[in-house]
Chain A
Amino acid sequence: MTSKLFASNLRQQLAKSTHLFRRQLLSTAAAAVPEPQHHEDSTGITMKGVKISGRPLYLDVQATSPVDPRVLDAMLPYYLSRFGNPHSRTHLYGWESDSAVEDARAQVASLIGASPKEIVFTSGATESNNISIKGVMHFYKDKKRHVITTQTEHKCVLDSCRHLQQEGFDVTYLPVGTDGIIDLEKLRAAIRPDTGLVSVMAVNNEIGVVQPVEEIGKICKEFNVPFHTDAAQALGKIPIDVEKWNVSLMSLSGHKIYGPKGVGALYLRRRPRIRVEPQMNGGGQERGIRSGTVPTPLVVGMGAACELAKKEMEYDEKRISALQERLLNGIREKLDGVVVNGSMERRYAGNLNLSFAYVEGESLLMGLKEVAVSSGSACTSASLEPSYVLRALGVDEDMAHTSIRFGIGRFTTEAEIDRAIDLTVRQVEKLREMSPLYEMVKEGINIKEIQWAQH
């Protein structure tokens, strides 16, 4: 009760301070309208050669989310007074830590309809994906030599598959349609007698499309092939039921659901039992699947985050959908040539991946320094290649260069959305004014028919 009170207090405080900050941001930015230059006299932040008037508003929750104050509240005692090693069997410190870890395990399990015994704590979804893919294939390597996955998976799944290929395994990368969804018939056709695993992510990290997991699960059951899903972006956002989905393995992450970074979980089905070869050897913690001391505070945080997500999923979903609609309508009202990447119907509302025709994404991001968004995934911003996910969707290369991912989360406000609309529209208009392509299109020239000299 006291902790709840404290949490609500903390939340109010936080809301107040962010409110204050936001007002400050708005006022400085409003003052900057006639003169968009920020110079030394402002008390702004200068970082990486870019100067901004305050902390940017955060619309990148697919990358990571802030820790919910209520989660932090649950974690703190396990850093300070209850710091015991959960594997210590000889004293109170160990016992209380162990009991906290088991409670967290139950909280995670309850969110996905699993038994606590089926949850293994890991360092994050990347590790869970590695254990799932390499662990399963290595364990069954005598009979199973084939993996099926999709072209739009997260890098860690693709990289694990590439690693398997180097070891002599076969991998099929299923293509996706223009909406980002896989074709179930193609999946069915790709399954072979020696297929050891089907791995398809539930919610895509870049474009937010939701794969037909339940149907995939059915097909896998029919052929008796284990099904792994990377649910890092789905946990706490769409209802998950491991029985309904018929998954054998599932990767989960803590920091995407307002929990701490550095913790994740792996769901491992018990009936029928799926076995994996451990990737980490050691003291045999987590039933030998993931050795190494379980980080009690982080695990407690992930458990608390799951419990909150279970309680607030419906509420969050309603708010986030409304905000997404507001954002999309707000931008579309003022700009033409705005394309949503990926299916609009089968989509998690918190992810809005947009392409702005005739404007290049990187320069748009450079102009949107007061909004923390990304051009798809963190990896693609470093290279000049357009996102492989958008290319798999068959998005034209010039449009793939122009994508921006807006991520809306539990703490996003209407004012933030309005400000994001305002800044985006202004920046796109400025860049279009500067774009030779936009000029040509207005003159009635078809850009696609021009023979461009490729560099």
Chain B
Amino acid sequence: MLRLVSKRILGAVSRDLPPPAVLPRFYHERVVDHYNNPRNVGSFDKNDPTVGTGLVGAPACGDVMKLQIKVDEKTGKIVDARFKTFGCGSAIASSSVATEWVKGKQMEEVLSIKNTEIAKHLSLPPVKLHCSMLAEDAIKAAVKDYEAKRAKSTASQEETSGEKAATA
């Protein structure tokens, strides 16, 4: 009788226990995966007019993220993305995820990517939430940089065409 009861209790307990692979207070397997096989590591030429670069964070805080997007000028679609990150495993994973998510999307669309989505995807613990915030900031900074570059180039184009008209 006792054995039966204890068996049942033990069985119930062991069924309730979470599998050892997903211990809550450590890296989620997606973080480990992105850390071991980061997607889209590298750099584009930051002077390329079709490239937007976002550099956020600070070395003193232990996180620096550089995220670059390559944009199709006609359609405004992000055709490719690259990142380089100095930071913990969660920061590397967050930026890796960010580059994956922005690829193939319209620029306006990626601005709506929220840090909470990245954090949820990677199951980041509260102490690591700033990593996902940094990734969101990096995306925004990259888009802003691209738009600033574009505005500048169209302005200079207009200027040159204006000059041409004046001389003619």
Q: CA of A51 to CA of B84 in the docked complex: distance in angstroms?
A: 25
A6-62 residues at the B interface, CB under 8 angstroms: 36-37, 46-51
Given contacts A48-B23, A49-B23, A434-B41, contact A397 B88 (CB under 8 A): no
Cβ–Cβ < 8 Å partners of A437 in chain B: 59, 64, 86
Structural contact, B57 and A452, CB atoms closer than 8 A: yes
The one of A36, A367, A452 that contacts B60, using a Cβ cutoff of 8 Å: A452
Using an 8 Å CB-CB cutoff, how does the interface string of A427-455 with B read, 1 for contact, 0 for none? Answer: 00000011111110000000100001111
State whether the Cβ of A241 lies closer than 8 Å to any Cβ in chain B. no
Which of chain B's residues has its CB closest to A399's CB? B59
- Min Cβ gap A49→B in Å is 4
The one of B27, B32, B58, B130 that contacts A452, using a Cβ cutoff of 8 Å: B58
| Interface size in chain A (residues, C-beta < 8 A) | 34
Using an 8 Å CB-CB cutoff, how does the interface string of B43-58 with A read, 1 for contact, 0 for none? Answer: 1000000000001111
Specify which of B26, B27, B35, B87 lies most central, judged by the most chain A CB atoms within 10 Å of its CB.
Answer: B87
Q: CA of A443 to CA of B32 in the docked complex: distance in angstroms?
A: 30
Cβ–Cβ < 8 Å partners of B153 in chain A: none
State whether the Cβ of A366 lies closer than 8 Å to any Cβ in chain B. yes
Structural contact, A452 and B36, CB atoms closer than 8 A: no
Structural contact, A435 and B86, CB atoms closer than 8 A: yes
State whether the Cβ of A319 lies closer than 8 Å to any Cβ in chain B. no
Q: CA of A438 to CA of B84 in the docked complex: distance in angstroms?
A: 10
Using an 8 Å CB-CB cutoff, how does the interface string of B11-48 with A read, 1 for contact, 0 for none? Answer: 00000000011110111110110011110010100000
State whether the Cβ of A362 lies closer than 8 Å to any Cβ in chain B. yes
Structural contact, B92 and A363, CB atoms closer than 8 A: yes
Which of chain A's residues has its CB closest to B25's CB? A48
State whether the Cβ of A206 lies closer than 8 Å to any Cβ in chain B. no
Q: CA of A28 to CA of B71 in the docked complex: distance in angstroms?
A: 43
Q: CA of A362 to CA of B26 in the docked complex: distance in angstroms?
A: 13
Structural contact, B89 and A363, CB atoms closer than 8 A: yes
Given contacts A362-B88, A433-B41, A436-B65, contact A397 B60 (CB under 8 A): yes
Structural contact, B35 and A46, CB atoms closer than 8 A: no
State whether the Cβ of A348 lies closer than 8 Å to any Cβ in chain B. no
| Interface size in chain B (residues, C-beta < 8 A) | 41
State whether the Cβ of A118 lies closer than 8 Å to any Cβ in chain B. no
State whether the Cβ of B127 lies closer than 8 Å to any Cβ in chain A. yes
Structural contact, A360 and B86, CB atoms closer than 8 A: yes
Cβ–Cβ < 8 Å partners of B133 in chain A: 455
State whether the Cβ of B70 lies closer than 8 Å to any Cβ in chain A. no
Structural contact, B21 and A455, CB atoms closer than 8 A: no
Structural contact, A46 and B20, CB atoms closer than 8 A: yes
Structural contact, B134 and A50, CB atoms closer than 8 A: no
Cβ–Cβ < 8 Å partners of B60 in chain A: 396-398, 401, 452, 454
- Min Cβ gap A224→B in Å is 44
Structural contact, A366 and B88, CB atoms closer than 8 A: yes
Cβ–Cβ < 8 Å partners of A436 in chain B: 55, 64-66, 84-86
Cβ–Cβ < 8 Å partners of B55 in chain A: 436
State whether the Cβ of A359 lies closer than 8 Å to any Cβ in chain B. yes
Structural contact, B130 and A37, CB atoms closer than 8 A: no
Cβ–Cβ < 8 Å partners of B85 in chain A: 434-436
Cβ–Cβ < 8 Å partners of B89 in chain A: 362-363, 366
Cβ–Cβ < 8 Å partners of B36 in chain A: 36-37
Residues of A within 8 A of B (CB): 36-37, 46-51, 358-360, 362-363, 366-367, 383-384, 386, 396-398, 401, 433-439, 447, 452-455
Residues of B within 8 A of A (CB): 20-23, 25-29, 31-32, 35-38, 41, 43, 55-66, 84-89, 91-92, 127, 130, 133-134
A-B pairs with lowest CB-CB distance, top 5: A452-B58, A398-B59, A48-B26, A397-B60, A436-B66
